[in-house]
Amino acid sequence: MDELVTRRVVLDSAYAQTVIGVNDGNLRALNQQLGADIHARGAAVTLRGSAREVNHAAHVLEELESMARRGVPIGPDTVGHACRIMESEAPESVADILGAEIVARRGKVIRAKTAGQRRYVDAIDDNTITFGIGPAGSGKTYLAVAKAVQALEAKGVKRIILTRPAVEAGEKLGFLPGTLNDKIDPYLRPLYDALRDMLDPEVIPKLMDAGIIEVAPLAYMRGRTLSDAFVILDEAQNTTGSQMKMFLTRLGFGSKMVVTGDISQVDLPSGTVSGLRVARRILGAIPDIHFAELGADDVVRHHLISKIVAAYDRHDAQNAARYEKKQRQREEGEGE
């Protein structure tokens, strides 16, 4: 059993309450994450546990104080993100990852929340075409929309174009009520929701009427050249190879493209190869095209989602291993 050690960390009194949290909520979250016994009296925080637990907790407190100095709100979720980032041995500091502002509206600030998300956001800045591949809740679409709004506000582009393939996920379009636009609207709803988090709701219809923001199905992109635009293709795992090629070749001068998708959730008919899989295989070596891979550690929705994603990943890996074993046995049997 590791020897217990005690350490006292004195926070700057101006930021201590932000770090400690309401009713010591942040310290309780840190205790749950790391196992150290943590108590605060004023700005002094006492840590007791194994040397590793205590040193880790002290380091997290230092990073949280650095974030507080930058004016970053800190809650139990932030503490959890900070602990995971430090466990991942990311080269950047927690404060650099969680403190970088993308878009702010009426007091709400959009930031990357994991090291993987920060690398994804940086890749969007550094490349003309960026693919964000990852599970549900990893922020690939939300952060892409935030970067699009940032580029529009900075006058880096003249318009935002958001698109998705209209592919059924277990339902048929024909059975949905209303006109074609009514039937397509549910597919585009997540993109509208993201926009409303980053722009005043009353402004969005005006921007759409002016053609500054366009939200449309992928089929509407055919035959166009998209110049001076920030273009996002969402749910790209549901494109065919020809649809993906069509989309990517719409790129015009002065534009950026972000393609997002989750290869584990393909809703295409059986036997149809996902255009996102094909693109990852054949475009990875081209300069100015980047593939950002997000994983379960980047999921920032309800804490159970990352556990669900990890469980499915393990299940898929086990099934793949069984399939490969059967294939080898079959090939060995045929070779005898």
Q: What sign does the dihedral 307-309-310-314 (CA atoms) show?
A: positive
The superfamily CATH assigns to domain 4-99 is K Homology domain, type 1 (3.30.1370.10)
Distance CA 54, CA 43 (A): 17
Tell me, what's the pLDDT at 150?
94
Tell me, what's the pLDDT at 176?
47
Q: Cβ distance 5 to 50 under 8 Å?
A: yes
Instruction: Give the distance, in angstroms, between the CA of residue 288 and the centroid of all CA atoms in the same chain.
Output: 20
Q: Cβ distance 26 to 57 under 8 Å?
A: no
Q: Which among 181, 269, 262, 164 has a CA at the least distance from the CA of 221?
A: 164
The superfamily CATH assigns to domain 110-301 is P-loop containing nucleotide triphosphate hydrolases (3.40.50.300)
CATH 3.40.50.300 in the chain is located at: 110-301
Please name the residue that has the structure tokens 């449309």. 216
Ranges of the chain whose pLDDT falls below 50? 168-173, 175-176, 180
Tell me, what's the pLDDT at 17?
92
CATH 3.30.1370.10 in the chain is located at: 4-99
pLDDT tens per residue, range 91-108: 667 877 777 788 887 667
- Structure tokens, 66: 């650095």
- Helix, strand, coil share of the chain (percent; to 5): 50, 20, 30
Tell me, what's the pLDDT at 172?
45
Tell me, what's the pLDDT at 169?
40
Q: Cβ distance 228 to 253 under 8 Å?
A: yes
Tell me, what's the pLDDT at 178?
54
Tell me, what's the pLDDT at 193?
85
> Which distant-in-sequence residues (6+ apart) come within 8 Å of 295 by Cβ?
116, 134, 135, 138, 309
Tell me, what's the pLDDT at 156?
95
